[in-house]
Amino acid sequence: MSAGFPADEFATAKNAFLEERKSVRSEDAQLVAILARNAQYGWTMARDAEIESKIAALTADDVVAALKQHIDPAAISIVKGGDFHTPAQ
């Protein structure tokens, strides 16, 4: 984590995330769900635009700093599941 994210990978991931948000709004059912959620909480589409502007302005360093602030690697459990036995031939 100390090395951060490669700039090109970060830019690609950020752009893909923002494009996904736009794509979701192009589907009628999804747009209705977004509008219903916004109505429920008193939000507007301007809120979504503001969130997307903030995401677009993020840098890889911003994300690394947030991860370091909120994620404790020692508290993460990694579990592998499956059949790891190699059958005899």
Per the domain annotation, does 60 fall within a domain? yes
Per the domain annotation, does 13 fall within a domain? no
Per the domain annotation, does 86 fall within a domain? no
**CA end-to-end span of the chain:** 41
Per the domain annotation, does 63 fall within a domain? yes
In this prediction, residue 18 carries a pLDDT of: 97
Where do runs of H (alpha helix) occur along the chain? 7-25, 28-41, 45-57, 60-70
Per the domain annotation, does 19 fall within a domain? no
pTM value is: 0.73
Instruction: Scan for tokens 């404790």, then name that residue.
Output: 72
Q: How many domains does the chain have?
A: 1
Q: What is the pLDDT along the chain (89 residues), one digit of tens a residue?
A: 457 789 999 999 999 999 999 999 999 999 999 999 999 999 999 999 999 999 999 999 999 999 999 999 899 999 998 888 887 76
In this prediction, residue 83 carries a pLDDT of: 83
Tokens matching residue 7? 């700039």
Question: Nearest Cα to 4, choosing from 59, 54, 71?
Answer: 59
Give the residue numbers spanning the domain of 60.
25-75
